[in-house]
Amino acid sequence: MLFLKENDPFHFGSVGRAMFTVLRIETLDTWDQILYISMFGCAKYPTAYPMVEEASNPVVQCNHDSGQGWIAVFIFFIVVIFGSYILPTVLIGIVAISFDEASRRAEALKEMHKGMHKVVADAEASLPRFFTKDRLFAILDIFEVMDADGELTLDLNEMSPFYHYSFAKLFGISLSKDQTEALFHLMDTDGGSELGYGEFVM
């Protein structure tokens, strides 16, 4: 924007003025007046400074009349398209995606807690001395560490290292890919291709 400062020092005479002018153009606030000055030159379009009372003010004196014509149109076109249409759309999209992810995570957390309470009730009924609350919460800590993507569920890629390590340490067995997938589907009782906390515990 400092490219236009010689012809229009009021709007582009300094970095601060140029930044404020770009913001004005992006919000479409009488941006056509600024365009005409840059396009035709300050001498041919001098009426764009109605807010300035002192004509002797150096920031509004037309000392270098140099209209840029279609070059100015191109520059303003880029600023208007990106600043007024593309950038707000991208920002709205980012906010919407973030809100959607937060909503899904809150719903998944709600379902996980519901499943956790059910598991706790079933575990205390069947094995009251083994599934203590401390152990269940310790399992929850392990679950959260294994949940690499933070989706509050475990997929096959997240469970595979657990299977291989557990069977190698406990039984000295090296699982094949097919065996790993079979174990995962055995635990995946709802067939959703992901394990919730309740399925992981059981």
Contact 68, 7 (CB under 8 A): yes
Residue 109 half-sphere exposure toward CB, CA atoms < 13 A: 8
Residue listed under structure tokens 């699982």: 175
Contact 166, 155 (CB under 8 A): no
pLDDT at position 134 is 74
Hey, is 5 helix, strand or coil? coil
CA distance 202 to 198: 6
State yes or no: pLDDT of 137 exceeds 70. yes
pLDDT at position 182 is 82
Contact 11, 21 (CB under 8 A): yes
pLDDT digits (tens, 9 = 90+) for 39-69: 888 777 766 665 555 556 666 667 777 778 8
> Which two tokens mark 10?
């009021």
**Per-residue H/E/C for 75-119:** HHHHHHHHHHHHHHHHHHHHHHHHHHHHHHHHHHHHHHHHHHHHH
Residue by residue, DSSP assigns 55-81 as TT-GGG--SS----THHHHHHHHHHHI
Using 50, 70 and 90 to split pLDDT, how confident is the model at 33? confident
pLDDT at position 50 is 55
In the chain the domains, ranked by start, together with CATH numbers, are 2-68 (no CATH), 97-201 (1.10.238.10)
pTM of the model: 0.48
Question: What is the average per-residue pLDDT within 115-123?
Answer: 67
Contact 198, 121 (CB under 8 A): no
- Mean pLDDT for the chain overall: 76
Task: Find, among 71, 78, 80, 64, the residue nearest to 32 by Cα.
Answer: 80
Residue listed under structure tokens 């593309």: 86
pLDDT digits (tens, 9 = 90+) for 66-78: 778 888 888 888 8
